[in-house]
């Protein structure tokens, strides 16, 4: 079964750090772009960051640049999001998602891990 | 960054109705557009990619069209399981921005 499972979320104070992980199974992880997408409570989807198959290219949205770092370990079939200097507005459910081999749609999603930034 | 807008923001419809949702990009994105369905508490589900290609397993009552800046998602005959929020997303250039969503609820 093709699956993505996120972990690492939790309650954290503003200014602190958190590292999210996404474990992939059921497909050849190293063949796919991977992304993080978040959804604040009651809000829409926000694309956060992307990394290409071998990790040589990445991109993140302006609101997290300089604070969040996406990375991957193809040997461990895992995607990561290192989140530093967290802000209250980073509170959201964070999903990892696979980009399909054609068309660039996000065709496999994890159920998400919840990050709450609050003092 | 490319901005995505959707209309309407919400629509009330009945089972069997035809529903059309519009998505507009702030600049041309060719056919690099995807549509997703999201139900409360669930992860989004890919419905359509490359503007008009139906994702495997998605019912044929869903269809997409458009290119450039204007796109539509059509549900030809609304079913009870289709009540959800629908998002478009451009995949032409980073960041791959989403539209604000369209909520389809029961009339």
Give the pLDDT means over successive 10-residue stretches in chain A (119 positions): 98 98 98 97 97 96 97 98 98 97 92 98
pLDDT of residue B106 exceeding 90, the answer is no
Contact A55, A71 (CB under 8 A): yes
pLDDT band for position B31 (cuts 50, 70, 90): very high
- On chain B, the residues whose CB falls within 8 A of the CB of A112 are 43
Q: Name the residue in chain A with its Cα closest to that of B9.
A: A44
Mean pLDDT of B32-36: 98
pLDDT the model gives residue A71 = 98
Alpha-carbon distance B14 to nearest alpha carbon in chain A (angstroms): 24
CB contact under 8 A, A105 and B87: no
- Mutant choice from A4, A63, A93, A106 vs B, greatest count of B C-beta within 10 A: A106
CB-nearest to B95 from A61, A106, A109 is A61
pLDDT in tens, B56-87: 999 999 999 999 999 999 999 999 999 999 99
pLDDT of residue B107 exceeding 90, the answer is no
Distance CA A34, CA A29 (A): 9
Provide, rounded to the nearest whole percent, the portion of chain B with pLDDT above 90: 98
Place of tokens 């193809």: A74
Angle at B49 between CA A34 and CA A113, to 5 degrees: 40
pLDDT the model gives residue A11 = 98
pLDDT in tens, B83-104: 999 999 999 999 999 999 999 9
Residue ranges with strand state E in chain A: 3-7, 10-12, 18-25, 34-39, 45-51, 58-60, 68-73, 78-83, 92-99, 106-109, 113-117
pLDDT the model gives residue A102 = 86
């Amino acid at each position: 079964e093709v699956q993505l499972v996120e972990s690492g979320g939790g309650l954290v104070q503003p200014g602190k750090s958190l590292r999210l992980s996404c474990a992939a199974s059921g497909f050849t992880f190293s063949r796919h772009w991977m992304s993080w997408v978040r959804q604040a409570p009651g809000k829409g989807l926000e694309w956060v960051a992307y990394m290409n198959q071998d990790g040589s290219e990445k991109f993140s949205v302006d609101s997290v640049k300089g604070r969040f770092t996406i990375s991957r370990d193809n040997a461990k079939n895992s995607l990561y999001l290192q989140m530093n200097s967290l802000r209250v507005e980073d509170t959201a459910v964070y999903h990892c998602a696979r980009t399909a081999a054609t068309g660039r749609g996000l065709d496999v999603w994890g159920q998400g891990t919840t990050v709450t930034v609050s003092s | 960054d490319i901005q995505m807008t959707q209309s309407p923001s919400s629509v009330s419809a009945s089972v069997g109705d035809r529903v059309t949702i519009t998505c507009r990009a702030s600049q041309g994105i060719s056919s690099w557009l995807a549509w997703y369905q999201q139900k409360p508490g669930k992860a989004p589900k890919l419905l359509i990619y490359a503007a008009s290609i139906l994702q495997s397993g998605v019912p044929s009552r869903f269809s997409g069209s458009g290119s450039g800046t204007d796109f539509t998602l059509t549900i030809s005959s609304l079913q009870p399981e289709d009540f959800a929020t629908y998002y478009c997303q451009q995949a032409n250039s980073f960041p791959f921005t989403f539209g604000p969503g369209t909520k389809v609820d029961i009339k």
